[in-house]
Structure 1
Amino acid sequence: MFTKKRIIQFCLVAVIFIAADIWMYNTLTDSFVSYVEERNYNEVGLFVQTAPENNEDIPNWLQGVSSIIPDAQAMYFDYDPNLFTFVPSTGGSPISEQLWNQYGQTTEFTAAMESAYYLEAIQLTTRYPSIIDNDQTTVRVFVAPIIAENGYEASGAVMILVPTSGASGYARLLGIFSVGAAIAFLAVAFVIMFTRDPVTGFMVLGLFIIVGIFVAFPLFEALRLSFFRNNQFSLDRWKTGLSPSYIVALWGSLRLGVSTATISTILGFMIAFLVERTSFKQKKVISTLATMPVISPPFSLSLSIILLFGNNGLISKQLLNLGNVSIYGLGGLTLVQTISMFPIAFLTISGVLRQIDSTVEDASLDLSATRWQTFKSITFPLTVPGILSAWMLVFTNSLADFANPLLLAGNLRVLSTEAYMMVTGRMNDLGGGAVLSFMLLMPTVTAFMVQRFWVSRKSFVTVTGKPSTTLTELTTAPVRRILTTLTWAVLGFILMLYLTIIAGCFVRNWGIDYTFTLENWKAIPDSWDSLTSTVTLALISAPIAGLIAMAAAMLIVRKKFPGKRLLEVLMMTPYAVPGTLIGIAYVIAFNKQPLLLVGTGAIIVINYVIRELPVGLENGITALHQIDPSIEEAAQDLGADVPTVFRTIVLPLVRPAFISSMSYTFVRSMTAVSAIIFLISAKWYHLTIKILSYSENLRFGLASVLCTVLIIIVLGVFGLLQVLVKDDKLTQKTISTR
């Protein structure tokens, strides 16, 4: 593809476009600067005509210049007839006086005063440095005469400093667009001229643009802040972050993450195996109950735990009178996070177990292997990609969680809470919070690389084009009863926590006043706008995140292209970064041109999609690892292009992962807290923020009502997804006993 002719053509096209781009940039910039300077010159002339006759009113008049020209500074000069020149008067701004003291004796300023003497206003050609509102900038200097009543002599002169930030801001914005246009044009030209499969090239290019703008750029802004203090390079924040105090918090995060991920993965595997690989009957009920913890705000289960098992809890204090048992700390926090996050492992492992072709298992049993030997040597190894993915997703989610530690950490210090408090607490140190958040990336990236290395060393293909439609029962009746008992015990405990929330809807104030009331239900009409905006944004985000995740998974697993590992790491990064940092980084990056998105619904949708992409990507990669590439290669040999293969082959085969991705994105969008708390606006408010506000004000009844409504909505959308996105039975299997 890289022939001499094509390289010459590409270079020629690039030179022509870049030359045209530079010419257009210079032309537009010069035109705008000329327009701004002419407008400022006219406004200075109009301002001078309003000069008061009484010199005592001059100081107040000078201060009014900023109402005509934004951020302008002015200084007045009296005419001295003995010296035949102008001398500085009092009342001018300190900035203008400082500039005059530094440059007033230069040739250009002397010439300007002479022009004012001859009744001619002038704009100095040099742009002078100045400090306005603590920001270093350059200013244009205008000197204009104040004409006396006789009309033929000057009674004084005024010097006005006009910041060039408007013109320079336009030039900077235009420069960004020009560079972006050049990069986009060259990238498109490169893909067309030098790739064998332009469609794949454009898909890869599109993904890089998405993660570049909405992942790398905001994190770069956060990283830049961590190395700067008061606009000067400094390592003070990193020295603080790496101090023993915060190393203890990092160790606390690791302990919490490892314990939560390990227990959640074991629990998720146990329930997923019961649902997908046994003849257990109530599978839909179990699946629904197992996914319930992700369909409520993350802090709602913590509140239930506190109300039931806290120091004054209903069970721990009033029923069992356990005075020495505390739910606060590592144990209680691990319990709550495990309950909240094991559905991630359950959904991930369920998709893997559902994809397994039992032909090899049947062969093992036919060769007189026991069920345990078959499970240990065949079934379990085939689920390793899903287990590792589930462990990593729960681990990173545990590190990034701050709402549960905020309520239950007790004496346990974790970095996510420390970062949140540093940013939003008394310190208000955005850069310091960024440092602590970036420290969380180190264990996450390590876990990610270990998981990728392990999966790449082995083959886990089981779907080869002729998948079996049945799965062999690998459990005996006693084992199945044990799994069923443990599963119902776990789900019963979870159900008790949610019943606590429902009960809270009908009491005046849980834990204080248990009087029955229906007044709490007034929270629904009071929060109707928040409810509709939350549902709308979540419904928009779910299909977008699902399609992008499945397309990215197909490219990463099936295609070879430069930067594949970088793309994968960038797409996985948002899951490891605390939501508070993502939210603040988005505010910093997208609260200015050219992407002014803060305050709109678009920034919330983008946050949802980017934050939940890793789950869909992991599900898609895990599912594709089990599908033989020859199925897609056969379609391509028959003339199908990449979009057709993705739509007709890949998407149906990874349907469980696709549905899980959409469902998870929708739920997480409905229950998000940490990131969107910085991105909401008066028009686009979020229901969970309303619930958090009620909870912080101890109005648990109102919060319980909104939690219940939110759960009902999510369950309804879950059911609707199952109806609308019907399974074509391609991967559905039945359980057979031997």
Structure 2
Amino acid sequence: MFTKKKLIVFAIVCAIFAAGEYWIFSTIQASFEKNAAKEITALARAIAASAPENNESLASWTEQLPSTYHGYRFFAFKGVPGEEGSEPAGGDSALSELWKLPSNADIAAKAAESVSYLEVFRWPSRVTFAGVPYTLIIAPVPDAEGSSARAALLIAADASGYVAFGRLVQTLAVVTFVLFALGFGIATFSRDPISGYAILVLAAVVVAFVAYPLFEAVRLTLIKQGRFSFDVWKTILSNRQYLQALWGSIQLGIVTATISTFIGFMYAFAVARTSMKGKKLVTALATMPVISPPFSLTLSIILLFGKNGIITKQWLGLQNFNIYGLGGLALVQTISMFPIAFLTMQGVLQAIDSTLEDASLDLNASRWHTFSHVTLPLAAPGLLSSWLLVFTNSLADFANPLLLSGSYRVLSVESYIEVTGMSRLNNGAALSLLLLLPTLTAFLVQRRWVSRKSFVVVTGKPSTRLSDLAAPGARRALTGFVVVVSGLIVALYLTIVAGCFVKNWGIDYTFTLVNIHEALTRGKQALISTITLAGIATPIAGVLSMVAAVILVRKKFPGKRILESLIMTPFAIPGTLVGISFILAFNKPPLLLVGTGAILVINYVIRELPVGLEGGVAALRQIDPSIEEAAADLGADQATIFRTIILPLIRPAFISSMSYTFVRSMTAVSAIIFLISARWYHITIQIYNFSENLRFGLASVLATTLIIIVLAVFGLMRLLIRQSEFLEKTVTAQ
């Protein structure tokens, strides 16, 4: 570890590296400044040479120059300043005041002397006007013979770009030195350099692509014209339209979360705690909305219940029926998000030890009493978690409100309009940050309530049998409920498929195959781009999430909790905020990524990294560390242990992480809608554009294609990962 010799070597090497780095970066910056000075000097001579021959016209000429040379300020003197007969001709008064300052008298005298010799003088330091740095040049205006100066021209050139470049060079120098010092320090002092490098790389990734973009988003809402200000937040919190959108999001979230949690619990109870038939089919249908494109169910709702919907207009003859607004949004979000509650509650209900329920029934308690006093209280944390998950997803949902909100306002759409429609990035960032307020409040309330109660069931041996708590009548009612909801899901997806073969939905239901050819032709490039970028992101996210899981579970190091929190942060924030923060952070040096495919890949990886991490952590905690210790004792290094022992043992979590990343990348909307470009388009945005232009047939074809691709990936995942039959529980009737 740390010895005197190692510390001396480390200090000497870092000093040598710092000296060499300083020489390299200072040379780069000096060369840039020198070339910039030459360019400005040459431009100043050219501008001065174009001055009108009559000195009386200098004033009007000087006033017209800023319209030709944007970012420049001008002021002209007749004659040489300081000499007899010299007087101001006109121009920017700020330059005149600067020239007259007593503190600048010596510099002004030197400038006047240079002008008298027909030389261009550059002010030794930059000057600042209204917070903007300028380079000041004094250029002579030669007479007709070119032998003397008949006038002088003060030129202030905007130096913001040069200052930004200087800061960039300095930042790169500091970052380079820090990375070298950390890397060399790990190699010198660490007993496990590979793990140290992995921690360093992971920390660099989350700082660069999580912390930095969020910092930029927050900074934008608090900085105005280079100064700290709450003006943006005052505008947001005092605007009735924005507050109405906030309440609209909360109202929609409460309605959706409540109904979705109820339906999800009914589904989970029917599958996990009754002897209902066809459970695998029901489970497959219930998970369909989770893995399908976000616009698919919205599209089918419009096709069925819109103004020209087959049910509302063709079957029921309704003329003024309006599916847009809170009702339609709650319907489509409930169908889209109840599977989240179902999957959460299914695991909770299966994990409850049935012996407590058996004991209650043995003591002559009714099934309802056992359910209400034993099963339901033990499932309460799962119910609250389900509600919170759906509530959070509803607030962050962007795709469904984009098509179905109508006049109903929600914050996610308002932030999108602020950025793309109004070009007000600061307002859009503030609105997206505002979405975190109800989410964090609900989360803290849930955590506080759960922490005040105990839901632990202590058992000696886990039971492989679950009791059927539903009476025959209740079982039939549950089965009927599940069948009705499942039938609605099937009808919605069949509607999408049917829309592929209809000439003009709502007007002309003639069978046609034209939609398929046109949609695949027009959407070919977007489909190829989406599959390509998702394919690139998938293995990166899979490996990175497993490496992060190993580091966080098996290693101890300073800042571990901070690193874990940063990795999990993208899961808790709305996609619109991620997209806006990426625009702010990566639309300027040193990471100019906006408009490239790289920013989409990074977005996919960062957004889905938390899910892969959670899966990897859960899998690693089931593996005895002594296996890895034995391999290390036999001489295997960390890379070999990870490749030959850890990765094979956590293969299900690894494959699940990659599959989830691929599917979510294929169906992403909220963040990538800000990041796409003409070169790198996305298939979901193409579906949205077709829907907005009422080309429902084309949208249906692309949605169906996307569903087929996603189902194929999930089918492959199920083949690669099979649950052990010894881990399954059976439900027996009482």
1:727 counterpart = 2:696 = no
Q: Decide whether the 8 Å contact of 1:441 with 1:577 is kept in 2.
A: yes
1:568 counterpart = 2:567 = no
Q: Decide whether the 8 Å contact of 1:460 with 1:626 is kept in 2.
A: no
Alpha-carbon spacing, 1:83–1:334, altered in 2? closer, same or farther (3 Å): closer
CA distance in 1, matches of 2:457, 2:196: 26
Offset, 1:727: 3.2
Offset, 1:217: 1.0
The 3-state SS of whatever aligns with 2:537 is helix
Q: Choose the corresponding residue for 2:515, options 511, 515, 520.
A: 520
Kindly provide the CA deviation profile for residues 32-78 of structure 1, in whole angstroms up to 9, marking residues without a partner as x: 32332234334544665666757799799879989999844555544
Alignment of 1:250-269 (within 5 A): 250-261=246-257, 263-264=259-260, 267-268=263-264
Aligned residues with identical type, % of pairs: 53
Alpha-carbon spacing, 1:82–1:624, altered in 2? closer, same or farther (3 Å): closer
The 3-state SS of whatever aligns with 2:294 is coil
Partner of 1:676: 672
Q: Decide whether the 8 Å contact of 1:652 with 1:730 is kept in 2.
A: no
Alignment of 1:707-722 (within 5 A): 707-722=703-718
Alignment of 1:657-672 (within 5 A): 657-672=653-668
Partner of 2:105: 106
Partner of 1:217: 212
Offset, 1:591: 0.7
Aligned residue pairs: how many? 723
CA distance in 2, matches of 1:581, 1:340: 22
Deviates more, 1:684-693 or 1:152-161: 152-161
Partner of 1:161: 156
Offset, 1:125: 1.7
Structure 1 gaps of 5+ residues are: none
Partner of 1:547: 543
1:599 counterpart = 2:595 = yes
Offset, 1:339: 1.7
CA distance in 2, matches of 1:100, 1:682: 50
What amino acid does structure 2 have at the position aligned with 1:125? P
1:232 counterpart = 2:231 = no
Q: Decide whether the 8 Å contact of 1:571 with 1:613 is kept in 2.
A: yes
Alpha-carbon spacing, 1:250–1:634, altered in 2? closer, same or farther (3 Å): farther
Alignment of 1:460-475 (within 5 A): 472=465, 474-475=467-468
Deviates more, 1:575-584 or 1:546-555: 546-555
Alignment of 1:416-435 (within 5 A): 416-426=412-422, 428-435=423-430
Q: Decide whether the 8 Å contact of 2:55 with 2:78 is kept in 1.
A: no
CA distance in 2, matches of 1:654, 1:458: 31
Q: Choose the corresponding residue for 1:201, options 168, 172, 196.
A: 196
The 3-state SS of whatever aligns with 1:683 is coil
Partner of 1:589: 585
Deviates more, 1:139-148 or 1:53-62: 53-62
Kindly provide the CA deviation profile for residues 221-254 of structure 1, in whole angstroms up to 9, marking residues without a partner as x: 1111111234332223323444594556545434
Kindly provide the CA deviation profile for residues 432-458 of structure 1, in whole angstroms up to 9, marking residues without a partner as x: 332232222234345556777869999
Partner of 2:41: 41
CA distance in 2, matches of 1:190, 1:397: 43
CA distance in 1, matches of 2:546, 2:342: 19
1:402 counterpart = 2:408 = no
1:530 counterpart = 2:533 = no
Alpha-carbon spacing, 1:241–1:282, altered in 2? closer, same or farther (3 Å): same
CA distance in 2, matches of 1:635, 1:461: 36
Offset, 1:603: 0.4
Kindly provide the CA deviation profile for residues 88-136 of structure 1, in whole angstroms up to 9, marking residues without a partner as x: 446x5777667557799833223322322223333232322236xxx71
Partner of 2:683: 687
The 3-state SS of whatever aligns with 2:142 is strand
Partner of 1:504: 499
Offset, 1:79: 3.5
CA distance in 1, matches of 2:621, 2:261: 20
Kindly provide the CA deviation profile for residues 286-335 of structure 1, in whole angstroms up to 9, marking residues without a partner as x: 45433332344423322322442356643345534679987555554333
Offset, 1:213: 1.1
Q: Choose the corresponding residue for 1:315, options 284, 300, 311.
A: 311
Offset, 1:600: 0.4
CA distance in 2, matches of 1:309, 1:590: 42
CA distance in 1, matches of 2:565, 2:723: 34
Kindly provide the CA deviation profile for residues 336-361 of structure 1, in whole angstroms up to 9, marking residues without a partner as x: 2122223445566778899x7x9x87
Partner of 1:122: 121
Alpha-carbon spacing, 1:105–1:595, altered in 2? closer, same or farther (3 Å): closer
CA distance in 1, matches of 2:529, 2:602: 15
The 3-state SS of whatever aligns with 1:40 is helix
Alpha-carbon spacing, 1:409–1:735, altered in 2? closer, same or farther (3 Å): same
Deviates more, 1:485-494 or 1:8-17: 8-17
What amino acid does structure 1 have at the position aligned with 2:121? I
Offset, 1:191: 4.0
Tell me the C-alpha RMSD between the 2 structures: 4.8
Alpha-carbon spacing, 1:10–1:283, altered in 2? closer, same or farther (3 Å): farther
1:172 counterpart = 2:167 = yes
Partner of 2:301: 305
Q: Decide whether the 8 Å contact of 1:65 with 1:74 is kept in 2.
A: yes
CA distance in 2, matches of 1:103, 1:536: 65
Deviates more, 1:500-509 or 1:140-149: 140-149
The 3-state SS of whatever aligns with 2:156 is strand
Offset, 1:175: 1.2
CA distance in 2, matches of 1:209, 1:89: 56
Deviates more, 1:698-707 or 1:660-669: 660-669
Kindly provide the CA deviation profile for residues 270-296 of structure 1, in whole angstroms up to 9, marking residues without a partner as x: 656777898888666545433332344
Offset, 1:210: 1.5
Alpha-carbon spacing, 1:353–1:601, altered in 2? closer, same or farther (3 Å): farther
1:30 counterpart = 2:30 = yes
Kindly provide the CA deviation profile for residues 674-712 of structure 1, in whole angstroms up to 9, marking residues without a partner as x: 221221111111122222122222222222222122222
Offset, 1:628: 5.9
CA distance in 2, matches of 1:362, 1:190: 56
Alpha-carbon spacing, 1:633–1:396, altered in 2? closer, same or farther (3 Å): farther
Offset, 1:15: 5.1
The 3-state SS of whatever aligns with 2:125 is coil
What amino acid does structure 2 have at the position aligned with 1:224? R
Alpha-carbon spacing, 1:278–1:640, altered in 2? closer, same or farther (3 Å): farther
What amino acid does structure 1 have at the position aligned with 2:578? I
What amino acid does structure 2 have at the position aligned with 1:31? S
Kindly provide the CA deviation profile for residues 524-553 of structure 1, in whole angstroms up to 9, marking residues without a partner as x: 212211111111111222232233333333
TM-score by length of 2: 0.82
Kindly provide the CA deviation profile for residues 592-615 of structure 1, in whole angstroms up to 9, marking residues without a partner as x: 100000110000111112222233
Alpha-carbon spacing, 1:631–1:102, altered in 2? closer, same or farther (3 Å): same
Deviates more, 1:520-529 or 1:27-36: 27-36
Alpha-carbon spacing, 1:266–1:17, altered in 2? closer, same or farther (3 Å): farther
What amino acid does structure 2 have at the position aligned with 1:237? V
Offset, 1:722: 4.6
Alpha-carbon spacing, 1:392–1:53, altered in 2? closer, same or farther (3 Å): same
CA distance in 2, matches of 1:502, 1:429: 39
Offset, 1:424: 3.9
The 3-state SS of whatever aligns with 1:682 is coil
CA distance in 2, matches of 1:366, 1:641: 52
Deviates more, 1:186-195 or 1:692-701: 186-195
1:491 counterpart = 2:486 = yes
Structure 2 gaps of 5+ residues are: none
